[in-house]
Amino acid sequence: MSTRAALDGVVVADFSRVLAGPYATMLLGDLGAEVIKIERPGTGDDTRAWGPPFDADGTATYFNSVNRNKTSVVLDLTTESGRARAREIVAGADVVVENFRAGTMERLGLGYDDLRAVKDDVIYCAITGFGRAEGAALAGYDLLVQAVGGLMSITGPEPGAPAKVGVAVVDVLTGLHALAGIQAALFHRQRTGEGQRIDINLLSALLSSLVNQASGYLGAGVVPGILGNRHPSIVPYEVFPTADRPIAIAVGNDKQFGALCSALGASGLAGDSRFATNPQRVKNRDELFTLLSDALAPHGADYWFKTLTGAGVPAGPINDVAEAIRFAESLGLTPTVAVPGSRTPQIANPIEMSATPPQYRSAPPTLDG
């Protein structure tokens, strides 16, 4: 295994704040890049104040979640001296990441064309909420994008009760798309010597991530709605009650359905004409839900988790976050890591690499530290 990280030698000038940009740059840092986080005087990144909760050192845990493996440099970009220092940093960098409202960096004289004059092969990644055209004036907050981007229309307990996802998932998805684009651009530059501009917007990242739901509309004219915990095209693929707490059952094919029925002592359901194939189960999902719920009622979720998993049926209880981390540990995974300089652990980078694994060199920085 190499002692070098995959992106050793890559320098990132990170003008981003809050979540989408910082998540992408933290992952770049985990993979070996040097990340210089440029923050405004006084307050720095907004998320430094987004608490409680705060960790043992008094730092907002929100900020900690996306800012390890970075150094902080405070610059007032409204001053010429601040902008001059920013250009100096970019001159020594390979990648620039920013998520200001569209047009802000250009007004500061730090847009892509401006910085190409400083570093002609720079890779410049701009993250916006709604692009650089008609949506440029709109603020790109995750809740807003979940609302207007269709995600809330298919998320919630029941029709007429839309709900946001319990984490800023659009920001995370956008950060992952930014990471992919930046790495592709680095590979292109290695082959050709050319830098380029990358534009990622939250709305487009969300629409891409709607996958089968968006495809169902485009290909079949089906506008999906809220199904609670149900799947529009697969049955049974939802949450069921048990004797104590709910359990998720995710049956993806007829063989698994047969195994489920056998494990529940209801083998006859697999041969019932109403449920023999997935399209028939989708058509008769309400009847099947009642029958399966009755079969699950005598025992609790942990009993059924063990029984169904042993029978080859994908199933699991509804864990809270603490239980989820313990569950990952029970599987031999390493969901958390110790980070030098921090008294609290962090969630590990999920990318496992045999030769150049992620590295955890430093805790999230203090302001200009």
Contact (CB, 8 A) for 182 and 29? no
> Which of helix, strand or coil describes residue 43?
coil
Backbone angles phi, psi at 208, to 5 degrees: -60, -35
Taking CA atoms, 317 is separated from 37, 42, 130, 239, 297, in Å, by 40, 45, 37, 9, 14
261 CB-near residues (< 8 Å, 6+ apart)? 267, 268, 269, 270
Q: What b/e sequence results for 152-175 when a residue is b if at least 16 CB atoms lie within 10 Å of its CB, and e otherwise?
A: bbebbeeeeebebeeebbbbbbbb
133 CB-near residues (< 8 Å, 6+ apart)? none
> Which of helix, strand or coil describes residue 345?
coil
Query: How big is the CA angle at 302 (ends 300 and 304), to the nearest 5 degrees?
Result: 70
> In this structure, what token pair is assigned to residue 308?
């169904």
Amino acid at 34: E
Q: Cα separation of 99 and 110, whole Å?
A: 13
Q: Cα separation of 28 and 366, whole Å?
A: 19
Beta-strand runs (E) in 189-291: 196-201, 237-240, 247-250
Which of these is catalytic: 45, 94, 142, 171? 171
Confirm whether 171 is a catalytic residue.
Answer: yes
The residues carrying an active-site annotation are 171
